[in-house]
Structure 1
């Protein structure tokens, strides 16, 4: 008899949360603030445009980096040379990251990825590319 009462009590306790209104989650009835109006949080590639190749090369292995500049030449199957105002860096960009887009050497691009300093010279493994 006690087991039946305990099971009935637990069932009643857990079923109350099922009957509660769904109040949580994202509410889409208001527009988000524009990126320049935000004080904190991730705002996209625009925040990282101050980083240069020289600064990126000085960072630790595995660091997340964002750069703005030009892809100036292809040096291997998925290897390219990236240049900004401070210097050049070898980057690895899989074909899937291009997502069907064609990039010309005179087009400004922003790239995000991680730094691999185990390779000599250091290589940036790009996981996001955006035309500027």
Structure 2
């Protein structure tokens, strides 16, 4: 009798993980859709291609800004001059944001960050950089 109860208990314990698989959670058996196939939701840099330096300079202090263009030159410390087709802006990019990547002035880059208009002229503090 004890063996039968022990066997029944052991069988019940082994079947619990199989029952748990049918519940919710992240299923990793299917790949997500590519970004260009998404209809809704945040897609990062792709959503902000239309923003220019001129538009960014007109925004309020602390605004989130996404720009695409070129880093022209290093001005001092973590500060660089960024240029797109409309204008230039000084950007502050910590070394950690480069993440070991080398960028040259002919590389097209997309940057995300916040606008600091308290400084004159306005400076963009970059927290994400992507080489295009």
Is the structural similarity TM-score above 0.5?
Answer: yes
Question: What's the offset of the Cα at 1:51?
Answer: 0.5
Q: In structure 1, the residue corresponding to 2:120 is in which secondary structure?
A: coil
Extract unaligned runs of 5+ from structure 1. Answer: 1-19
1:78 corresponds in structure 2 to: 78
Is 2:39 aligned against 1:35? no
> Where in structure 2 are the equivalents of 1:1-132 lying within 5 Å?
21=20, 23-132=23-132
**Contiguous gaps of at least 5 residues in structure 2:** 1-18
Structure-1 separation of matches of 2:60 and 2:26? 36
Aligned residues: 114
RMSD: 1.6
Q: Which runs of 4+ in 1 moved over 4 A?
A: none
Post-superposition CA distance 1:19-73 (Å, at most 9, x none): x947232111222112111111011212211110001111111111110000001
SS in 2 for 1:96: helix
The alignment's TM-score, normalised by the length of structure 1, stands at: 0.81
Q: State which drifts further: 23-32 or 84-93.
A: 23-32
- Structure 2 CA distance, aligned partners of 1:88 and 1:50? 16
